[in-house]
Homo-oligomer: A and B are copies of this chain.
Amino acid sequence: MSKNGKIYVVGIGPGKKADMTFKAYEKMKNSDIIVGYKTYTDLIKEYFPNTEIRSSSMMKEVDRCLEVLDLAKAGKNVALISSGDAGIYGMAGIMYEIINENDDIEVEVIAGVTATNAAAAIVGAPIMHDYVTISLSNLLTDWELIKKRLELAAQGDFIVSLYNPKSKGRATQIAEAQKIMLKYKSKDTPVAIVRNAGRENEEYEITTLENMLDFEINMLTIVLIGNSNTYVKNGKIITPRGYEKKYEY
């Protein structure tokens, strides 16, 4: 029997306890150590005053996972946290990549509420139909591939959720994305811009594809772009699923 510890890759959701799953909370609470990017450990440390918490800086994902692996090999149960869902652009992949076949370490991914889900819930019901999620960060992905995906998503009349739309060093991509969307989607397509979804300072605007660049968009923003049926009513953004074709009401 292995005396290695177990690794839980935990999606914490937006950050507040209210938006965590019971399982995510329990796994963090019962781990010997919680490890994560400092922005995320800062969000949750108040809920686990008696647990050791180790923070690391951004861009240190590989080092963070190697540290987690070492801790597990030393017999510790470790919760490696991601905001949102650890399985969506989160830490689950890199953790599995780093573990070797003969490491004999058990890994469990605990799903969470993603940024897209949290943002959608705030602005109404924009994602009632087929949708794509695209990160505009070209740190790990070629910009040409990202552009191609934007093009295909717009052609398919998908609802589009944009992650990492803008950062300090990367300001032009969101304008290029808008331009690509406008080739296929109406300029009046409803767009929701949600900053800090589910966190302090949560803010959002509902605007249109044409006017979306008039609002603040930063690294902590999710941009949701509707499909051809999306509309705005009572300040909420709604994509009908199609019941009105089927039933009368």
Interface residues in chain A, defined as those with a beta carbon under 8 Å from any beta carbon in chain B: 11, 13, 17-23, 25-26, 61-62, 66, 85-90, 92-99, 101, 107, 109-114, 117-118, 120-122, 124-135, 139-141, 145-146, 148-149, 152-153, 155-158, 233-234, 236, 238-247, 249
Contact = CB atoms under 8 A, between A and B. Distances in A.
A117 B111 contact: yes
A100 to B, nearest CB: 9
B130 A130 contact: no
**Copies assembled:** 2
Given A87-B120, A112-B113, A121-B92, A97 B238 contact: yes
B129 A141 contact: yes
A158 B107 CA distance: 25
29 contacts: A18-B21, A18-B23, A18-B26, A20-B21, A20-B22, A61-B243, A62-B243, A62-B249, A86-B121, A88-B120, A88-B127, A92-B121, A92-B125, A93-B238, A93-B240, A94-B241, A95-B125, A96-B125, A99-B234, A101-B234, A109-B125, A112-B117, A114-B114, A130-B132, A130-B135, A130-B149, A132-B132, A141-B242, A152-B152
A26 B242 CA distance: 31
A92 B237 CA distance: 11
A195 B22 CA distance: 22
B125 A120 contact: no
A147 B212 CA distance: 30
A241 B89 contact: yes
